[in-house]
Amino acid sequence: MKNSVPIKDAWQHCPRCGRPAETKGEQPFECDVCGYFHYFSPCTAVAALIVDESGKMLFIVRGKDPGRGKLGLPGGFVDPDESAELALQREVMEELQLSAGAVEYLASFPNQYAYCGVIIPVTDLFFVVEVHNFDGMSAQPGEVDGWTFLPVESVSAESLAFDTHQRALQQYRRWTGLVDGTESNGVE
Ligand SMILES: [Zn+2]
């Protein structure tokens, strides 16, 4: 995220009246000319934890920054007027040509996403997603460079593009009883 600035610092003008922003960097943004008010609330992103019949989890190799070349869970941003569940099914289809079945909520974590020199706050929502048929998988050009199935316990934090995905894997290990801590029954 070097050379990137938080979105509240990147706003140079009021988006409603065009007046140069005098309160740059403040949250919320408030225009003292037209009175426009804006909260820099997080965007919503979704990610899918998908395991095959042998219990290995599906990871994509990211085809673009942030985290190009690193592993990530399939997913993406929720569109306006779209539910998180539908966004999940759409992204899994777009990225890998897979049909997502039943969806079960797992956890959420706050993330930051640096893109085009601007850092935006994101809420990452994680779901366990059923996929019954992995035939015909295909990586979305420009977005996904490939995919791999790995035992959940073997995935290192360094290999993942996002810290939130690592936290979701930890939560999944507890959820499935792969590590101690199931009795805590909660998010860290
Ligand atoms: Zn204004």
User: pLDDT tens digits for the chain (188 residues)?
Assistant: 678 999 999 988 999 999 998 777 788 999 989 999 999 999 999 999 999 999 999 999 999 888 899 999 999 999 999 999 999 999 999 999 999 999 999 999 999 998 889 999 999 999 999 999 999 999 999 999 999 999 998 999 999 999 999 999 999 999 888 776 544 444 54
Task: For residue 186, tell me if it sits in a domain.
Answer: no
**Residues pairing with 37 in the sheet:** 30
| CA distance from start to end of the chain | 25
Could you write out the DSSP letters of every residue in 72-139?
Answer: E-SEEEPPTT--HHHHHHHHHHHHH------EEEEEEEEEEEEETTEEEEEEEEEEEE-----TT--P
Residues 32 and 61 in one domain: no
User: What residue type is assigned to position 18 of the chain?
Assistant: G
Q: Any idea what the CATH number is for the domain that residue 102 is in?
A: 3.90.79.10
The count of domains in the chain is 2
Cα(118)–Cα(116) distance, integer angstroms: 6
C-alpha of residue 29 to centroid of ligand 1, in Å: 10
Cα(130)–Cα(135) distance, integer angstroms: 14
Nearest partner of 100 among 122, 84, 117, judged by Cα: 84
Please tell me the pTM assigned to this model. 0.88
Residues 81 and 31 in one domain: no
Residues 133 and 47 in one domain: yes
Task: For residue 185, tell me if it sits in a domain.
Answer: no
**Which residue range is the domain that position 2 belongs to?**
1-40
C-alpha of residue 28 to centroid of ligand 1, in Å: 13
Residues with CB under 5 A from ligand 1 (ion): 14, 16-17, 19, 31, 33-34, 36
